[in-house]
Amino acid sequence: MSHEHKRPGLLSVVQSTLAAAFGVQSNEKQKKDFTEGRPEQFIIAGIIFTVLFVVALLVIVNLVI
């Protein structure tokens, strides 16, 4: 009998990325991500988050100035 781990879905990856970005991810969730998730998912989510964050900052700065 094999013990297959369920891979994290899109919502789980987004939640983990946001929690990691703001430094509030629990150790338990981090361990689960490392054992069950694929690195590509988190790398892509991190890149997308970073781009969106920078664009949001640029928009806010341009609105203020």
pTM of the model: 0.76
pLDDT tens per residue, range 19-35: 989 999 899 988 988 89
Q: CB under 8 Å, gap of 24 or more: what pairs does 4-9 form?
A: 5/35, 5/36, 6/36, 7/36, 7/37, 7/38, 8/32, 8/33, 8/36, 8/37, 8/41
Per-residue pLDDT at 6: 76
